[in-house]
Amino acid sequence: MTVVLSPSILAADFSCLADDVKRLEQSGIKDLHLDVMDGHFVSNITFGIDLIKHLRPKTKMNFDAHLMVTNPDALLDGLKEAGVNSVAVHVEACKHLYHTVETINKLGMQGGVVLNPSTNFESLKYMAEDNIIKKVLVMSVEPGFGGQAYLPMSTKKIKDLANWKDENNYNFIIQVDGGINLNNIQTVVDAGATDIVIGSSIFKHRELEKNVADFRKLLNL
Ligand code: DX5
Ligand code: ZN
């Protein structure tokens, strides 16, 4: 299984965002992680649909939205219109999770679910049986801010999720997000994550090309 690196623009310099996005694309990155935060579900505020709309013509990369908002349903049509390819919603934010994920898929995007560190994955069983979950994102920090330390418990959680997926022949992607760096990326890949979100470690010292290359080299990508 090939590993995908998904840089999060949360760590970018927003005053020259289009340039940073172009640099990532020129480094061979295919997937861009977009952290939408509303100041309610998490205390931080980032950006919304309008910024995504303006970024869309600047790159061909897949847009992967991670919604840290209290009302994800209200954003889905707009995200589709803005050209987003996949949308992951927090289990903790959705009153009717099945419906929300199904709506994302029906709009022609890939529907994913996100689990906070303290949230179990077992409640996803019936949704997984219906094959509507395209991705499960395991948060390896509490959501809201970049630059936090990886929570060690996440490794076991990814392993358990990967085993559960294999035992039941589910085919969702396992993504991990938070505190990933050159010292722990191999651990999460070995545990079973195939899509790795990286914020600060990709934008470190603003050496985007070098940082991407370092991750690639380490993983033999
Ligand atoms: C945190 C966000 C992450 C964040 C990761 O709530 O979901 O995507 O940007 O940043 P790092 O890699 O710095 O932990
Ligand atoms: Zn994220």
Q: What pLDDT was estimated at residue 1? A: 75
Tokens 């600047």 locate to 58
Q: What pLDDT was estimated at residue 207? A: 98
Report which ligand 1 atom has the smallest distance to the Cα of 147.
Answer: 13
Q: Which helix (H) or strand (E) holds 200?
A: helix 200-203
Q: What pLDDT was estimated at residue 29? A: 98
Pocket of ligand 1 (CB under 6 A): 8, 10-11, 33, 35, 66, 141, 143-144, 146-148, 177-180, 197-201
Characterize the bridge pairing of strands 110-115 and 4-7. unpaired
33 contacts: CB under 8 Å, gap ≥ 6: 6, 7, 8, 9, 10, 64, 66, 177, 197, 199
Q: What pLDDT was estimated at residue 156? A: 98
Using the 8-state DSSP alphabet, how is residue 37 labeled?
Answer: E
> Residue 157's Cα: distance from chain center in Å?
16
Given 31, 38, 64, 177, which residue is catalytic? 177
Question: 144 alpha carbon to ligand 2 midpoint, in Å?
Answer: 8
Q: Which residues of 183-192 are buried (b: 16+ CB within 10 A; e: fewer)?
A: ebbebbbebb
How far lies 75's CA from each of 1, 78, 110, in Å? 32, 5, 15
Task: Answer yes or no: are the C-beta atoms of 21 and 9 closer than 8 Å.
Answer: yes
pTM: 0.98
Report which ligand 1 atom has the smallest distance to the Cα of 148.
Answer: 14
Question: 167 alpha carbon to ligand 2 midpoint, in Å?
Answer: 27
**Each residue's pLDDT expressed in tens, for the chain with a length of 221 residues:** 799 999 999 999 999 999 999 999 999 999 999 999 999 999 999 999 999 999 999 999 999 999 999 999 999 999 999 999 999 999 999 999 999 999 999 999 999 999 999 999 999 999 999 999 999 999 999 999 999 999 999 999 999 999 999 999 999 999 999 999 999 999 999 999 999 999 999 999 999 999 999 999 999 99
